[in-house]
Structure 1
Amino acid sequence: MKTITTLLLSLFSLLVYSQEFVGEFNKVRPDSAFENIHIHQISTNPNSTTFAIWVKNKVKIHKHVNHVEHIYITQGEGRFQLGSTTYHIEPGDLIIVPEDTWHGVSVTSDVPLRVISIQTPEFNGIDRIFKD
C-alpha cells in the first residue's frame, strides 16, 4: 500500500510541477455522444499525458512499446486483461501497465467504464500496437 501511495504522490507531483490543473474530475464529461470509446485529454507535457477515458463496450488488446500507463477506475466494472492474467476491476482499483505489455478491457457494467489514464512519457500514439 505504501508503494502505491508513494507512486501516486510522485506522479501527482510530476503533473503539478510540469503543468497545473485543478478541477473536479467528476464534472468532466464527454463533449458529445460516443459509440464505444471517448477520450478527453486533461493535460500533456514531455513527462506525461493525462486522459479521462470512457468505455461502453471494450478496448481491444494492445500495448505501448515505450510507455507505462497508470489507470485509475472511477466508474463502472469490467474484466481487464494484463499480460496473460484477467482481473475484475471496479471503482477504486489502480492498474499499472508496464511498457510493452498487452492489455485491454471488456466492460461488464450497465454504465460506461470511466478512468483516469496517466501515460509516461508524453503520449503521442505512435507506439500503440493492436494485437491481431
Structure 2
Amino acid sequence: MKTFSFYLFLIVSTVAFSQDKISLNTIGQDIEYENIYSQTLFENEYASYYYIWIKQSVASHKHVNHTESISVIDGEGVMTIDGKNFHIQKGDFFVIPKNTFHSLKVTSSDPIKVISIQTPKFNAEDRVFENKK
C-alpha cells in the first residue's frame, strides 16, 4: 500500500506541476512591434523567463535587486555591461549582476532574439534607466 501511495503521489505531482512545451519558432511570427517585443515564457515567485526580440537597441538600465541571465537565440549585437562593450551572437550566454547598468545595440539586419531569465521574479519598479530625465 505504501508503494502504491508513493507512485500515486509521483503521478499526481508530475501532472500538477508539469508545464506545456513552448516552441520558440512560433512566438512573435506575426507580431508587429516598433523596437522590442517580449513574451513571458514562465514565471513564479523565484524567477521570470522571457523570450525577447530587439530590432534596434535597449537603453542603458539596471535591475537593483535582480540578476539577469541572457542566452542569445539569434542575431548579433554589441552589449555594454558596466561600461565594457563586447560582441554577442547566436549561442552566447552571459550573466548581468544585479545593480549593474547594461544596454544593447543590435548590429544584425534581423532582430536579435534572446531568452532572459530574471531572478528573483521580475518587478518593473526594480528597473532604473541610466539617463532618465
> C-alpha displacement at 1:21, in angstroms?
4.3
Q: What TM-score comes out, normalization by structure 1 length? A: 0.82
Q: Which residue of 2 aligns with 1:39?
A: 38
Give the number of equivalent residue pairs. Answer: 115
Sort the Cα spacing of 1:94 and 1:59 in 2 relative to 1 into closer, same or farther, 3 A: same
For structure 1, the 5+ residue unaligned runs are 1-17
1:120 partner amino acid: T
> C-alpha displacement at 1:23, in angstroms?
2.3
- Kept in 2, the 8 Å contact 1:78–1:105? The answer is yes
Cα distance in 2, alignment partners of residues 112 and 23 from structure 1: 20
Q: What TM-score comes out, normalization by structure 2 length? A: 0.81
1:23 partner amino acid: I
Alignment of 1:75 with 2:79, yes or no, is no
The percentage of counterpart residues that share the same residue type is 38
Which secondary structure does the structure 2 equivalent of 1:66 belong to? coil
**What root-mean-square deviation, in Å, do the aligned CA atoms of Structure 1 and Structure 2 show?**
1.4
> C-alpha displacement at 1:32, in angstroms?
2.2
Q: Which residue of 2 aligns with 1:15?
A: none
Cα distance in 2, alignment partners of residues 30 and 65 from structure 1: 32
Where does 1:114-129 land on structure 2 (aligned, <5 Å)?
A: 114-129=113-128
Larger-gyration structure (1/2): 2
- Kept in 2, the 8 Å contact 1:30–1:40? The answer is no
Where does 1:37-116 land on structure 2 (aligned, <5 Å)?
A: 37-116=36-115
Runs of 4+ in 1 over 3 A off after TM superposition: none
For structure 2, the 5+ residue unaligned runs are 1-16
